[in-house]
Amino acid sequence: MPQRNSYFCCPNTIMARQLQIREALREAMSEEMRKDSNILLMGEEVAEYNGAYKVSQGMLDEFGEKRVIDTPIAELGFAGIATGAAMNGLKPIVEFMTFNFSLVAIDQVINAAAKMNSMSGGQFTCPMVFRGPTGSAGQLGAQHSQAFENWFANTPGLKVAVLSNSYNAKGLLKSAIIDPDPVIFMESEQMYGLKHEVPEEEYYIPLGQANIQKSGTDVTLVSFGKMMRVAEEAVKVLAEKGIEVELIDLQSVRPIDYDTVAASIRKTNRCVVLEEAWPLASISSEISYMMSQMVFDHLDAPIKRVTTKDTPLPYAATLVEAWLPNVKSVVDAVDAVMYR
């Protein structure tokens, strides 16, 4: 069953504290590492420097250099070492300083970790997590600003989760760490310092389960990751216009919780999908196709999607702003399905 939150709140009755996303991620890793000595963290600057984004701050002191491991700037090498370690009973968490750098290691991720269980006839599994930031983070240029969710989601054998707040950062990462399959865990450089409510008690969020962030009756808005912040602002603007949006956070883009999206469309009869990615072969393309198969007769308007512009990201700040989806583009898309 999908989670159902009150208006932009976490689905839990006990909310004792606010944690930054980096703190929630650290807490998830540390809790699981205390339970299982086979879990380790490796990546560039994760140990002595406490992490490029301070996600792993203090973990070297607690777990030691055999379980929190600084690697050379060699993503192909340490992704391969981690994959081999996972095949032999360890449970590595691999941090990429950015998923843009994962392209150097993508052969190990796609051709080794993702396929090992199938190619070995179940003799080898790869219980491991590849985590780090995806998408744009300001004026970082075209080579450091790509969204990779749909790239990895296209690969059988991988699971792909995308956080949008501190609550699901912790719950999804804990589920990813204990999953028997390799999991791609997507974060955002621009979100590590954001604070959200996280309960004191332990919890897990199942991979492949969407969250109904806000109930509504007029239109379904589907998003995930950093774009949930844009979606939330658009929902507020639309509410002032009398349009009640049902906002869904996918949380995982492989597997995708199609049933929750379909059930929402049966209620609202309209749908907009928002993501930070190029439009061709995107998650929004997949959602649009699947909903056309599952709930076509319930749609009162064609599904609209809001994506980045179909170009490499420019460097100039004004062009970055024009390239990314924004509140106005979401509101315009909702208006188009409401008043066509």
List the CATH number of the domain containing 112: 3.40.50.970
pLDDT band at 136 (very low <50, low <70, confident <90, very high): confident
What is the tens place of the pLDDT at every residue in 81-123?
Answer: 999 999 999 999 999 999 999 999 999 999 999 999 999 999 9
Average pLDDT, the chain: 94
**Tally of structural domains, the chain:** 2
pLDDT of residue 16: 65
Q: How many residues does the chain have?
A: 340
In the chain, where does DSSP find H-type helix?
21-35, 59-63, 75-87, 106, 116-119, 149-153, 166-178, 227-240, 258-268, 283-294, 317-323, 327-338
pLDDT of residue 144: 85
Whether the predicted pLDDT of 223 surpasses 70: yes
Question: Looking at 27, 32, 44, 75, which residue is catalytic?
Answer: 75
Of the candidates 295, 213, 305, 235, the one whose C-alpha atom is nearest the C-alpha of residue 259 is 295
In this prediction, what percent of the chain has a pLDDT beyond 70?
95
C-alpha 153/C-alpha 133 separation (Å) is 16
pLDDT of residue 139: 86
Statement to judge: residues 113 and 181 lie in one domain: yes
Within a domain: residue 247? yes
Statement to judge: residues 159 and 236 lie in one domain: no
pLDDT of residue 117: 96
Question: Looking at 32, 144, 187, 246, which residue is catalytic?
Answer: 144
Of the candidates 142, 144, 156, 172, the one whose C-alpha atom is nearest the C-alpha of residue 252 is 172
- Indicate if 95 belongs to the active site: no
Domain boundary among 148, 174, 198: 198
Statement to judge: residues 240 and 295 lie in one domain: yes
What is the tens place of the pLDDT at every residue in 167-191?
Answer: 999 999 999 999 999 999 999 999 9
- Indicate if 276 belongs to the active site: no
Whether the predicted pLDDT of 140 surpasses 70: yes
Which residues constitute the domain of residue 50? Answer: 12-198
Within a domain: residue 6? no
pLDDT of residue 1: 42
Instruction: Give CA angle at 255 (254, 259), nearest 5°.
Output: 135
Of the candidates 177, 176, 167, the one whose C-alpha atom is nearest the C-alpha of residue 199 is 167
Name residue, tokens 């095949």.
Answer: 87
C-alpha 225/C-alpha 323 separation (Å) is 17
Per-residue pLDDT averaged across 187-200, rounded?
95
DSSP letters along 170-222, please? HHHHHHHHH-SS-EEEEE-TTTTT-EEEE-SS-----TT--EEEE--SSEEEE
pLDDT of residue 9: 44
What is the tens place of the pLDDT at every residue in 29-49?
Answer: 999 999 999 999 999 999 999
Beta bridge partners of 131: 95, 185
Whether the predicted pLDDT of 3 surpasses 70: no
